Amino acid sequence: MTLQDIRVLVTGGSAGIGRAIAQSAQARGARVVINGRDAGRLAATAETLGLHAVAGDVGRDAAGIMAGAVEHLGGLDVLVNNAGWGRSMTLDALDPQLMEDIWRTNVLGAALMAAAALPHLDTAGGGTIVNMASTAARKGYVGGTAYSSSKFALASMTQCWQAELRPRNIRVIQINPSEVQTGFGGSDPERAVNPRKLVAEDIAQATLAALEMDPRGFIPELTVFATNPWEPTG
């Protein structure tokens, strides 16, 4: 389907993958609102891209974020649940508060945003929810106790929502990026880009390709890996 005039809300839209999705969707004619917790960074991104922004924490103010987006857009067709973060944490260094905060954004926040979107998607006659998961939703790793477990939970919720919402013409799509060169996890967003590894625009391309499928079909899960991220040897 064409994205022309499709009404889209992208959480975590001030940087990285969320920003790339918002910018690419807008370039295809979609009407886009971005959300983020950092009001200053969000405002700067909104000004640069010429987009409307609604600041707020998805884990605590989902209803307000949704209300602000719908007021501007006049409804909703697509929710991109992209807000998420993580920190490396081994079991013997477990930080309960940090783990709870990660889960509040990555799991509860996604669920609250999806629940807030439902009445508007129903009013539109259907729509799409995109859950930005990770390859960490499919395989754990050393230090992944908090982050990987939150993405496994998001994958489980995705499957539950698919079962619940398909009869309402609502597609739920899970995107699993592998390592992407963004500022995620405290990485320097200005570091030199490795041409062998994924960038945010790759994930935006995959996400929009899934969205552009005719609404009679949907892609339940899409995983994106770099083809050959390893440095040549010898």
Per annotation, catalytic residue among 147, 152, 161, 184: 147
DSSP character string of 73-96: HTS-SEEEE-------B-GGG--H
Q: What angle do CA 132, 135, 139 make, to 5 degrees?
A: 135
**Active-site residue flag, 141:** no
| Dihedral (Cα; 172, 173, 176, 181), 10-degree rounding | -110
Non-local (6+) Cβ contacts of 80 within 8 A are: 8, 9, 10, 11, 13, 18, 21, 130, 132, 207
Non-local (6+) Cβ contacts of 44 within 8 A are: 14
* Residue 174 · residue 155 · CB < 8 Å: yes
Give catalytic residues, as residue numbers. Answer: 147
